[in-house]
């Protein structure tokens, strides 16, 4: 079991109101990602749930039980830290066994659990090594191993992949998703990387300045962003925002159109633009254009769309995929 | 430092200082060794002659000899125990965020800046003095008999004074080590259900191992030669109760005017220091390799 409920949770550091007030429901078995720009309070929120920070107001419930004032260890949660936080003078085996030893478990039972975890995480050959003798990805797995042996009601991940190189990050992303499917335990994952959020989450919580901007599945956020912030944050490359007469013609203050929803042509279209940069990725080509009367626009073209610096191209926004926002930045629905 | 060239160059550049250090060390050692085989008394400086091992026999048969070795070890071990344990405790306290942290830290560190004879004099006359010392006043306040520390517990008193002087050093080194402990590791241990004691045993103490080793090694070097505190307070007495090896050598050389005997004592002290160093490096030296 691992459902977590936040009721009007707030956090104040001195003068700074990091989290004004948050209500959130996390269901058992969900993979929830907190995403937002740096300083948005996502790590603070995770630490509040973990019990590493005291809440300034509100309540935290785990499985319906109020744990607002409970010690971190008493909450039955396990956390994987950004720096992995492995104990440097202990072997991998002792690192993974540490929480069990603290729980005063019998040595044979500990050995069995540690070896089972090591098998799941491919660490069996490294059990006698020290953390300093492991690679970044292996250390990451040890940190996860230390978390899973406790059989927590939920896992907390604090930007766990940010210290890994791009290739390894991709692999670990898959491994963590796979682990979630195997264990079916609630996981809360904090990241600033919206690609990680989109690829792993069942439910994404977009945070900005300590407030929840929107909660939803990855595709919900992509298709129906509630406001300008979510629209700009989710999706890569970012959504183009157009103001002025074009937006007014659509009865909106701002019109948003994703790069992949612009139809490019070399002969005709609604807008005309000059190619500033063309990024050829093979399958796709991202064009950064200077569109007449609108400004900077990013557009996605097929890999075969040959365009070079200085070329004139025509663009037409796909009206069905257009997002409209009012003067408060909230989305307008048709 | 990869190529043969850089290695040769490095050795060449280091050579002058290594040579200077070697001369600096070898010449006094050789002279001491030389004098230790001479019959050389300052009361009769014209009559210098070779005496073989007589000086060693003389020093060895001194009634204070074995007691002074024992006292030397008691001072070293006693002060190390107090400073390491007390240093860890104070460092743990100073690591907590408190009001006026900067001033408290300076206060704690200040004994280190007091010169040994001055510190010993203050302890002798203002703290441990049976007539007007602070400790005597406290005893009187509770209606107890004041303790004459230097007469009753001479060696213990010296251990206390020396420990007071070295406590700030240990605290400072251990505090910096403590502050370098990764905060996330502490939080991870907290999440893993480790209480304060477990965190201390499994996380803090192993982290401090290297710093503790440094404290023990450096302090041992200085504690083997404690001298000023003894001279100022007990003058080695009563009897030989607070005479250590360094003080015995001073006594032989400057009170007995016996250069030869003192030199022999010096050589014995060097041998003893090396024996201590050997066991010390075997016991704690491996902590430095990590």
Q: Which residues of chain B are modeled with pLDDT < 50?
A: none
Identify whether B11 is part of a domain.
no
pLDDT average, residue stretch A296-301:
90
Residue B1 has a pLDDT of 54
Best-predicted range by mean pLDDT among A266-275, A301-310, B84-93, B249-258?
Answer: B84-93
Identify whether B95 is part of a domain.
yes
Q: Across the beta sheet with A77-80, what order do the strands follow?
A: A77-80, A154-158, A186-191, A31-35, A203-208, A211-216
Residue A295 has a pLDDT of 85
Contact B190 A87 (CB under 8 A): no
Interface test with A, best of B190, B191, B206 (most A CBs within 10 A): B191
Q: Where are the beta strands (DSSP E) in chain A?
A: 4-13, 16-26, 31-35, 57-62, 65-66, 77-80, 154-158, 186-191, 203-208, 211-216, 240-242, 254-257, 262-265, 271-280, 284-291, 295-302, 312-317, 323-325, 331-332
B 192-221 residues inside an 8 A Cβ radius of A: 192-194, 198, 202-203, 206-207, 209
Q: Of all residues in chain A, what percent carry a pLDDT higher than 90?
A: 12
Nearest to A73 among B191, B207, B209 (CB): B191
Residue A34 has a pLDDT of 92
The two three-digit tokens of residue A142, written as one number = 């040890």
Residue B290 has a pLDDT of 58
pLDDT average, residue stretch A124-146:
88
pLDDT average, residue stretch A251-280:
88
Select from A328, A31, A273, A274 the least CA-distant residue to A157.
Answer: A31
Query: Which residues does residue A78 pair with via DSSP β-bridges, in sequence order?
Result: A155
Identify whether B22 is part of a domain.
no
**Torsion-angle region of A293 (φ positive above 0: left; ψ -120 to 50: alpha; else: beta):** left
Cα distance between residue B235 and residue A96, in whole Å: 58
Identify whether B28 is part of a domain.
no
Cα distance between residue A47 and residue A60, in whole Å: 12
**Predicted confidence band at A334 (pLDDT cuts at 50, 70, 90)?**
low
pLDDT average, residue stretch A86-107:
89
Q: Read off the pTM.
A: 0.78
Decide if A163 contacts A82 (C-beta within 8 A).
Answer: yes
Cα distance between residue B221 and residue B193, in whole Å: 41
**Predicted confidence band at A215 (pLDDT cuts at 50, 70, 90)?**
very high
Neighbours of B82 (CB within 10 A): 18
Cα distance between residue B60 and residue B25, in whole Å: 25
Angle ∠(B111,B112,B115) on CA atoms, nearest 5 = 90
Instruction: Give the domain CATH number at B111.
Output: 1.10.3720.10
Identify whether B7 is part of a domain.
no
Contact B194 A72 (CB under 8 A): no
The two three-digit tokens of residue B37, written as one number = 């085989």
Identify whether B29 is part of a domain.
no
A166, pLDDT greater than 60: yes
Smallest CA–CA distance from A143 into chain B, residue? B188
Number of structural domains found in chain B: 1
Identify whether B35 is part of a domain.
no
Residues of A with CB under 8 A from a CB of B: 50-52, 71-73, 77-79, 81-83, 85-90, 98-99, 102-103, 146, 150
Dihedral (Cα; A27, A28, A31, A35), 10-degree rounding: 40
B 153-172 residues inside an 8 A Cβ radius of A: none
The chain-wide mean pLDDT, for chain A, equals 88
Contact A79 B188 (CB under 8 A): yes
Quote the domain boundaries for residue B246: 54-288
Residue A204 has a pLDDT of 92
Burial of A38 (0-12, 13-18, 19+ CB in 10 A): exposed
Closest Cα of chain A to B74: distance in Å?
32
Contacting residues of A for B289, CB less than 8 Å apart: none
Non-local CB neighbours of A39 within 8 Å, separated by 6+ positions: none
Closest Cα of chain A to B216: distance in Å?
21
Contacting residues of B for A89, CB less than 8 Å apart: 206-207, 209, 290
Identify whether B69 is part of a domain.
yes
Contact A52 B187 (CB under 8 A): yes
Contact A52 B191 (CB under 8 A): yes
Smallest CA–CA distance from A50 into chain B, residue? B191
The two three-digit tokens of residue B206, written as one number = 């192993």
pLDDT average, residue stretch A132-141:
86
Interface test with A, best of B185, B187, B189, B192 (most A CBs within 10 A): B192
The domains located in chain A, with CATH, are 4-231 (3.40.50.300), 238-332 (2.40.50.140)
Select from B127, B202, A45 the least CA-distant residue to B136.
Answer: B127
Nearest to B193 among A83, A87, A99 (CB): A99
Non-local CB neighbours of B113 within 8 Å, separated by 6+ positions: none
Burial of A240 (0-12, 13-18, 19+ CB in 10 A): buried
Closest Cα of chain A to B202: distance in Å?
9
pLDDT in tens, A104-113: 888 888 888 8
Non-local CB neighbours of B213 within 8 Å, separated by 6+ positions: B284, B285, B287, B288
Intra-chain end-to-end CA distance of chain B, in Å? 21
Residue B19 has a pLDDT of 93
């Amino acid at each position: 079991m691992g459902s977590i409920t936040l009721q009007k949770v707030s956090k104040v550091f001195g003068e700074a109101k990091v989290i004004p007030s948050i209500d959130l429901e996390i269901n058992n078995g969900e993979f929830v990602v907190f995403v937002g720009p740096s300083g948005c309070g996502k790590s603070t929120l995770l630490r509040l749930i973990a019990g590493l920070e005291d809440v300034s107001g509100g309540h935290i419930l785990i499985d319906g039980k109020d744990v607002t004032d409970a010690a971190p260890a008493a909450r039955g949660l396990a956390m994987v830290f950004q720096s992995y936080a492995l104990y440097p003078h202990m072997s991998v085996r002792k690192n993974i066994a540490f929480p069990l030893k603290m729980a005063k478990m019998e040595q044979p039972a500990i050995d069995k659990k540690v070896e089972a975890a090591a098998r799941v995480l491919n660490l069996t050959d490294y059990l006698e090594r020290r953390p300093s003798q492991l690679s970044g990805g292996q250390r990451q797995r040890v940190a996860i191993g230390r978390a899973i042996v406790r059989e927590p009601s939920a896992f907390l991940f604090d930007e766990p992949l940010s210290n890994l190189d791009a290739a390894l990050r991709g692999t670990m992303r898959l491994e963590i998703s796979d682990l979630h499917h195997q264990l079916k335990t609630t996981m809360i994952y904090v990241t600033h990387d919206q690609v990680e959020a989109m690829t792993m989450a069942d439910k994404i919580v977009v945070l900005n300045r300590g407030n929840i901007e929107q909660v939803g599945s990855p595709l919900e956020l992509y298709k129906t962003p509630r406001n300008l912030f979510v629209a700009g944050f989710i999706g890569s490359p970012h959504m183009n925002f157009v103001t002025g007469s074009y937006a007014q013609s659509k009865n909106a203050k701002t019109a948003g159109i994703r790069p992949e929803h612009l139809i490019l042509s070399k002969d005709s279209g609604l807008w005309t633009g000059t190619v500033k940069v063309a990024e050829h990725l093979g399958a796709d080509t991202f064009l950064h254009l200077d569109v007449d009367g609108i400004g900077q626009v990013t557009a996605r073209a097929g890999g075969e769309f040959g365009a070079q610096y200085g070329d004139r191209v025509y663009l037409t926004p796909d009206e069905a995929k257009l997002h409209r926002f009012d003067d408060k930045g909230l989305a307008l629905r048709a | 430092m990869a190529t043969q060239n850089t290695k040769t160059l490095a050795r060449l550049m280091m050579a002058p200082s290594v040579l200077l250090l070697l001369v600096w060390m070898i010449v006094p050692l050789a002279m001491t060794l030389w004098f230790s085989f001479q019959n050389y008394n300052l009361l009769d400086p014209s009559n210098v002659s070779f005496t073989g091992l007589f000086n060693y026999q003389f020093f060895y048969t001194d009634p204070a000899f074995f007691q002074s070795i024992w006292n030397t070890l008691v001072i070293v071990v006693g002060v190390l125990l107090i400073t390491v344990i007390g240093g860890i405790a104070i460092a743990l306290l100073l690591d907590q965020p408190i009001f006026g942290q900067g001033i408290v830290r300076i206060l704690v560190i200040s004994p280190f800046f007091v010169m040994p004879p001055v510190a010993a004099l203050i302890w002798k006359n203002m703290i441990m003095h049976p007539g007007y010392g602070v400790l005597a006043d406290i005893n009187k306040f509770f209606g107890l008999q004041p303790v004459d520390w230097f007469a009753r517990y001479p060696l213990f008193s010296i251990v206390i004074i020396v420990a007071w002087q070295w406590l700030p050093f240990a605290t400072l080194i251990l505090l910096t080590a403590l502050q370098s402990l990764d905060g996330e590791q502490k939080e991870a241990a907290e999440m893993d259900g480790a209480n304060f004691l477990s965190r201390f045993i499994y996380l803090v103490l192993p982290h401090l191992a290297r710093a503790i080793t440094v404290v023990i090694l450096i302090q041992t070097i200085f504690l083997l030669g404690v001298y000023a505190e003894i001279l100022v307070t007990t003058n080695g007495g009563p009897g030989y109760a607070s005479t250590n090896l360094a003080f015995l050598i001073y006594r032989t050389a400057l009170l007995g005017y016996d250069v030869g005997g003192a030199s022999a004592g010096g050589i014995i002290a060097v041998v003893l220091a090396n024996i201590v160093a050997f066991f010390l490096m075997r016991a704690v030296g491996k902590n430095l390799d990590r």
